[in-house]
Structure 1
Amino acid sequence: MRSLLVVWSLLFIFLSSCGNNEKKKGEEESSDKEVVKQEEKQQDKGVILFFGNSLTAGYGLEPNEAFPALIQKRIDSLGLSYEVVNAGLSGETTASGKNRVEWVLNQDVDVFVLELGANDGLRGIPLDETRKNLQEIIDIVREKNPGAEIVLAGMQIPPNMGPEYTSEFRNIFPELAEKNEISLIPFLLEDVAGIPELNQGDGIHPTVEGQEIVANNVWEVLKAILEDPKS
């Protein structure tokens, strides 16, 4: 009788052990499937790359206060499947941007927002050079990511360089947008430039409140692209 009890006890332990192993195996498989689902979900997200200078980088502010981060919050609130990448670099000119863009485009991009030119204008760089560099950046984006939507951010500068330079500089952006059939943000700093309380002490870089207005200016153009992407 005692031997029989021992046998039944061992059998019970064996069956319990098998059950626990099966349960653990099932939990591991469930966890693995969840990870795969999360990875697939991330891979399914489109990429919006903001390529610009200190205005895009959010100079003087926290990264989450720059307008690209504000755009990401708006996208998330609407349940749109896009991930924003902030590739802003303080001090960037169109020439240095042209040299950097291929490296940035090592990842697939669905929307490319080009925000460069302000530093060219403030430094008085020849307008033909600025125009040529912007065009080459557009060409590189189209070569590396043929299906990407390109958005060009229009820029204006103070009249320090004279009315002719200032006027022609402003015209570069709509002319390039029309030539290349790409979307245009008419003036990135609309309702922000020249307003002291919306800019930091240097009078150039937006404050937190200014960045919110810039984000609205960007969203006015970007929303139509995200809500009705090309097939």
Structure 2
Amino acid sequence: MNRLGGALVLFAAALLCAAAPRVGDAKEDTPVIVAFGDSLIAGLGLPESESFPAKLEAALKARGKEVSVVNAGVSGDTSAAALKRLDWALADGASAIIVELGGNDALQGIPPEGTKANLAKIIEAAQAKHLPVLLAGMEAPRNMGRDYTDAFHAIYPALAAQYGVLLYPFFLDGVALEDSLMQADGIHPNAKGVTKIVEQIMPKVDELLARVKPKD
């Protein structure tokens, strides 16, 4: 993630690019996963069909699982900004949520305790709706200093333990810093990178779906 050190300008300039979540488009008995996050979820720089939510849904269906994955990613979102739109993202019909946030917080040097507090509120809100949660961790750029990166890294396992949610430690694991899997900005995965993320996170998604309660 140390290539992220000079990326603040790119994130700050990113426009909101996510369409409103289409939870209502799924069949009544189809589980709906809301992928909630920033540009890594929204699919900045990629066609919608190559975004993480679209590829995850396609991969699940290829394995015989009829699941709808909603793209609730907004480029440039910090954890605080995402928290403000959570109710909009978790429209009626959501069955589970994947939370991928924190990268922009780190780029802006937001104190880790603030990021942790916002993510805790997101988890609490989801659990209040009886939605199982998969928390996808991020890492801070190393140029933020050892104390900051250590404190930031500790956010995700601490929250997973506190709330009993599923944890995927690093959303870009095996993809970050791999030129063949990243776009030219060195920050966002290309289509091949998204495919690898989907492949690697799939076991945790299976666990998430196993926690989904049948719809009434």
Q: How far has the Cα of 1:158 moved from its partner?
A: 2.0
CA offset digits 1:172-214 (Å, max 9, x no partner): 0011011000000111101111122211111100011111111
Q: How does 1:75-86 map to 2 (within 5 A)?
A: 75-86=60-71
**% identity of equivalent residues:** 38
Structure 2 counterpart of 1:132, from 117, 123, 127 = 117
Q: Secondary structure at the match of 1:202?
A: coil
Q: Distance in 2 between matches of 1:95 and 1:229?
A: 27
Of 179-188 and 192-201, deviating more is 192-201
Q: Which residue of 2 aligns with 1:163?
A: 146
| Bigger Rg, structure 1 or 2 | 1
Equivalent of 1:194 in 177, 187, 203: 177
Bigger RCO of structures 1 and 2 (CA < 8 A, at least 6 apart) = 2
Q: Which residue of 2 aligns with 1:17?
A: none
In structure 1, list runs of 5 or more residues that go unmatched: 1-38
**One-letter code of the match for 1:104?**
A
Q: Secondary structure at the match of 1:114?
A: strand
Give the letter for the 1:130 counterpart: T
RMSD over aligned CA atoms reads: 1.7
Give distance in 1, aligned partners of 2:211 and 2:64. 14
Aligned residue pair count: 190
Structure 1 stretches of 4+ moved >2 Å: 224-231
Cα distance in 2 for partners of 1:209, 1:106 equals 31
Match of 1:67?
52
Q: Counterpart of 2:152 in structure 1: which amino acid?
A: F
Alpha-carbon distance, 1:229 to partner:
4.3
Contact between 1:188 and 1:217, CA under 8 Å: does it hold in 2?
no
User: Normalization by structure 2: what TM-score?
Assistant: 0.83
Instruction: Supply the AA of the counterpart residue of 1:57.
Output: A
Give unpaired runs (5+ residues) of structure 2: 1-23
Q: Which has the higher helix share?
A: 1
| Structure 1 position 157, deviation (Å) | 2.3
Q: Distance in 2 between matches of 1:178 and 1:60?
A: 34
Does residue 219 of the first structure (1) align with residue 202 of the second (2)? Answer: yes
User: Structure 1 residue 100: deviation in Å?
Assistant: 0.4
